[in-house]
Structure 1
Amino acid sequence: MQLQNGRPENTDGRLDKEIRVYDFLDKLGVEYQRVDHEAAMTMEACEAIDRVLGDDTAICKNLFLCNRQETDFYLLLMPGDKPFKTKNLSAQIGSARLSFAKPEYMEKYLDITPGSVSVLGLMNDHEKKVQLLIDEDVLKDPYFGCHPCINTSSLKFSTKDFTDKIIPALDHPPITVKFPLPEEQA
């Protein structure tokens, strides 16, 4: 695995949704680095990718959630070292009975399949059905990492570009939330 600058030179065999991400970032003038890898399905695989991206990059959990009625959908970005507890989130956003949304909703609204969840999938949510939620600690590192809507590549770009260019262009204003660290829950 090696960090490359920008989009792949050869896009043969890459999915349209991945190419749309590169087009989106290039149109915004966002400088990014990319690492191609095997499908990242385990935490061990993710840790190896994280090492290539560097210690200065926030790699976060991306959770696609919904309410019990499956009428409200949320994409939660949170640090990987924080445990996810629905009660912590429900109280902050005023939505009880949260659970993981079904894969078909993920595909319908974000054009993403399980294992490839990414904030960049919000560029496919033209109906604005998904509310973006970001744990405040995600934005503390100088760089932000995510998939380009497919889990065989990972991207790295500045957190400043994420907050100043990408989030406004996604047109999904985030709600900032806070999850306690494990030691704060004792």
Structure 2
Amino acid sequence: MSSTKIGKDKDELLGKLAEWNIQTETIEHPQVFTVEQALPHLENTEGKFAKNLFLKDKKKRLYLFCAPHDAEVKLNDLAKMVGASGGLRFADSSVLEEKLGILEGSVTVFGIINDTENEVKVVLDQRLLDQTYPKVWFHPMVNSATTSISSSDLKIFIDKTNHELLVINLS
């Protein structure tokens, strides 16, 4: 990031998770910019890597959508499920950095820790919360590492950040 740091970085995030008694495991790896680039680094782990989309609607409402990395996501269908006005499109990278304190390529549910104004609505596929996977893997604010969290701890994390959660069923 630039010299004007916004919000918590990786180390501060992991410290806060530990403070909240949320169990995590972090794997360091080279920077990755796609799910396909990340998966080889998680080959010997249990659980599911998540895809994360930072979206906005016509009224500039912001949504952070997370699902299993291999889930088929159609933005038009997602817009209907979340009640987005005028469809959904990707939010600008400047908004991502301003609201979640992260850069493009590092979109993660953990970014909501920096959204202290609760301007971002969190939308999760139910499989990330219903124990379908023993662990779910997200970037910890940077795309040079990946951190696991259990479904129950993910719910605790979202609650601790005071974010509204919308759970949808994509399967």
TM bracket (short chain): 0.7 to 0.9
Tell me the distance in 2 between the aligned counterparts of 1:58 and 1:173.
23
Pairwise CA RMSD of aligned residues? 1.7
Q: Given the alignment, which residue of 7, 16, 20 partners 1:24? A: 16
Kept in 2: contact 1:36–1:154 (CA 8 A)? yes
Q: Given the alignment, which residue of 55, 68, 87 partners 2:76? A: 87
Kept in 2: contact 1:107–1:113 (CA 8 A)? yes
Q: TM-score by structure 2 length?
A: 0.88
Amino acid across the alignment from 2:169:
K
Q: How does 1:121-132 map to 2 (within 5 A)?
A: 121-132=111-122
Larger Rg: 1 or 2? 1
Q: What stretches of structure 1 of length at least 5 have no aligned partner?
A: 1-15, 181-186
Tell me the distance in 2 between the aligned counterparts of 1:179 and 1:32.
26
Q: TM-score by structure 1 length?
A: 0.81
How many residues are paired up? Answer: 162
SS at match of 1:88: helix
Does residue 171 of the first structure (1) align with residue 162 of the second (2)? yes
Kept in 1: contact 2:35–2:69 (CA 8 A)? no
The structure that is helix-richer by fraction is: 1
Structure 1 residues 21 and 131: alpha-carbon distance in aligned structure 2, compared to 1, 3 A threshold: same
Aligned to 1:117: 107
Does residue 136 of the first structure (1) align with residue 113 of the second (2)? no
Kept in 1: contact 2:56–2:91 (CA 8 A)? yes
Q: Deviations over 1:47-81 (max 9, x none)?
A: 112214x2x31211100000124x20000001221
Kept in 2: contact 1:142–1:160 (CA 8 A)? no
Displacement of 1:115 after TM fit?
0.6
Displacement of 1:32 after TM fit?
1.4
Identity, in percent, stands at 25
Q: What stretches of structure 2 of length at least 5 have no aligned partner?
A: 1-7
Kept in 2: contact 1:66–1:101 (CA 8 A)? yes
